[in-house]
Structure 1
């Protein structure tokens, strides 16, 4: 080689490798002028996002903040057989599952009465204990099967 001769250089391009983008850095993927893609056609990510924005803009009602289902704004009639607006429900007509427990006022009613009796007895015991010179103060009678309070 002599001065003034052309220097031959071979450049091998890389590409396809991993890229690291600093947090907060501006990055553009696809051309800024990519057309909106609203079909299943090939396109860049930017074009697909533009397509989604275009579709949402067509169906979004920005005044009422809801998605429009029908552009006419008219209440749509519905036909067919429907139940009345209010349905009556009766617990007496509901069938119980097999082996379901049934309460007819026996044990639960007794327990409610017993609870009142214990509460009254505890109040009486407290009141008697407050009297000057109180001696014997009866304790409430609680059946053993209920345990202690």
Structure 2
């Protein structure tokens, strides 16, 4: 109702805010649909050909990522804030997650399990869908814009 009202009032900021909110609700419901119909999604990819992807299972590097000692200041700051507060801003979540999957190439399931222990507003379905999206393992054919350089 507010979106229609703001559109009629030509309140573009309000209309954009309502659109963003509805998109977030849609993604949340989509993630719940995926997890309900494919209950294995928190353990393995929806794409069978990725079940044997050569992830790098380096426990020492994983520990450095968890402790915020990767050498990349923004990633390290995000991980330290997460540990100290139990919360991390959504944009920083994306940055530390992309770094996690794209650079050391850790198995995304490791991060999912770690986040369960640290994040206060953890939502299983939304996080699982986010990890599949970030690791390019959703069957929708859409590839995530890859983070080029973590320094940037």
Return the TM-score normalized by structure 1. 0.20
- Higher RCO structure (Cα 8 Å, ≥6 apart): 2
TM-score w.r.t. the length of structure 2 is: 0.19
Larger Rg: 1
